[in-house]
Amino acid sequence: MEFIIIVVLVIGILILHKPLSVVFNRLYIRRQQRKFVECETFYHSVVSKYFRYYNRLGLEFLFRTFLFRKARRFHYIEVKESAEMPILISAVAIQLTFGLDKYMLNYFNEIYVLKDDYHYGFYSRPFMGHVDQSGIYLSWDNFIKGISGQTPYCNVGLHEMGHALAYVTFITETEEDKHFKKEFKNFSKVARPIFADMQGGNRNLLGEYAAVNYHEFWAVSVETFFENPVCMRLDLPELYQAMVDLLRQDPLQMRSNNNGTATFVLKSAKKEEGLRLGA
């Protein structure tokens, strides 16, 4: 009898887990929306200063930035903390994942912010950022230069968030966006020959660092896609389109939209109920 009761309970949990998770997620989103209203003006003032990308979007981008920031612990190493820092870092993550259903990069609860270039492990060269099992690491000096346009076409925030997205998808598999994982195979059909050509000594818009390994090729492609989309579409049109299909957003379409809103390639993306604030 006890065995039957246990089996029934297990089956019940398995059946009810998904619908209960949906209900709890909706309640959580609504509760966070109420909290977001209290700091919306401050978030807007911070993000709009650095992100032309955000200025073409609406409150959904800002709200996702709020959710991302709330879900992380930020650690500051030899750099003075400010209220703007975690918001800007969170906004970069959402810039990358905005077209995906799974946009939170879950697994990375810790983000470490360092003042300048730093040394990591046994590597002799200094790092501007890196991602490993312990968290996401960013050099603040390089990060702020990237988002403010002081280092043209170089954005360490986007670069490391690209690594983080690949990490949670293919290594930890803790936040599997089905579209991204499936479409990455198609992306690689286009990207692998370009990468192999670069390793053979040929150079292109992506630069020498993209030829170091395929992980860096992906991260540099992310940077170039957002920071230099015009040249990427001209010089590497197939790779650019593969990025559009993979991330379900097109920076050039956003820029050419005259009504002040963003244009995204969201053919099958499902949105959480109530998440489209002001959409």
pLDDT tens for 226-257 read: 999 999 999 999 999 999 999 999 999 864 34
Domain count, the chain: 1
- Predicted local distance difference test score (pLDDT) of residue 6: 59
**258-274 mean pLDDT:** 39
Residue 56: the pLDDT is 75
Give the HSE-up count for residue 48: Cα atoms under 13 Å, Cβ half-sphere.
Answer: 11
Mean pLDDT (whole number) for 74-83: 97
Say if CB 215 and CB 167 are below 8 A apart.
Answer: no
pLDDT for 93: 98
| Domain contains 11 | no
37 falls within a domain: yes
What confidence score (pLDDT) does residue 3 get?
58
pTM assigned to the model:
0.84
| 43-58: average pLDDT | 87
At 170 the pLDDT is 95
Q: What is the mean pLDDT of the chain?
A: 86
Question: How does residue 42 score in pLDDT terms, banded at 50, 70 and 90?
Answer: very high
The CATH number of the domain holding residue 189 is 3.40.390.10
Alpha helices in the chain (DSSP H): 2-50, 52-55, 59-70, 84-97, 140-147, 156-166, 178-199, 214-227, 229-235, 237-247, 251-256
Domain-located, residue 101 = yes
Task: Give the separation between CA 233 and CA 69, rounded to whole angstroms.
Answer: 32
Query: What integer is the mean pLDDT of 36-46?
Result: 94
In this structure, the dihedral spanned by the alpha carbons of residues 258, 252, 141 and 122, taken in order and rounded to 10 degrees, is 160
- Would residue 271 count as lying in a domain? no
* Whether pLDDT at 81 is above 90: yes
Report how far apart, in Å, the C-alpha atoms of 174 and of each of 63, 109, 188, 244, 267 are: 22, 12, 22, 24, 24
State the pLDDT at residue 23.
59
Residue 228 located in a structural domain: yes
Convert the pLDDT of each residue in 190-230 to its tens digit: 999 999 999 999 999 999 999 999 999 999 999 999 999 99
Asked, for residue 276, whether it belongs to a domain, the answer is no
Query: What mean pLDDT is predicted for residues 95-101?
Result: 96
* pLDDT for residue 16 is more than 60: no
Owning domain of residue 154: 17-256
Hey, what amino acid is at 93? Answer: A
Is residue 269 situated within a structural domain?
A: no
Residues 118-123: what's their mean pLDDT? 88
pLDDT (0 to 100) of residue 102 = 94
Q: What is the pLDDT of residue 61?
A: 95
The larger pLDDT score, comparing residue 35 to residue 6, is at 35
Residue with tokens 């992980």: 215
Q: Is residue 121 part of a domain?
A: yes
The pLDDT of residue 260: 36
